Amino acid sequence: MPKKRHSTEEIIGKLREVEVLVGRGGTLGDAVRSIGVTDQTYYRWRKEYGGLKMDQAKRLKELERENTRLRKAVCPACGFTMRVAAKWAGYGLPVCACGEQIALA
């Protein structure tokens, strides 16, 4: 059976559902099974998305996508790939050691 990739909104909704079921007196194991994931997945989700609201989680994913894009910056002149281009975010295009501006992917 193929793995299902849950969206951020689904994950936060399922975490809230577990909180409600446990709050009503159910056990954590039963609550986690009722949302259809393993205990390990639940704890990983809780670690990553535990205290987030829906808008905060969307912003987190947006920042992660932007960070990935910035890390793929490549210099057109020498072909040097910048590994830590995120520090230039918001300051225009970064400049390579060879003096060329780096095109962001």
Kindly report, residue by residue over 31-61, the tens digit of the pLDDT.
999 999 999 999 999 998 887 788 888 888 8
What pLDDT does 4 receive? 78
The three-state DSSP-derived secondary structure of the chain is: CCCCCCCHHHHHHHHHHHHHHHHCCCCHHHHHHHCCCCHHHHHHHHHHHCCCCHHHHHHHHHHHHHHHHHHCCECCCCCCECCCHHHHCCCCCCECCCCCECECC
The length of the chain in residues reads 105
Q: What is the pTM of this model?
A: 0.57
What is the reported pLDDT for 56? Answer: 85
Q: pLDDT under 50 in the chain at which residues?
A: 84-86
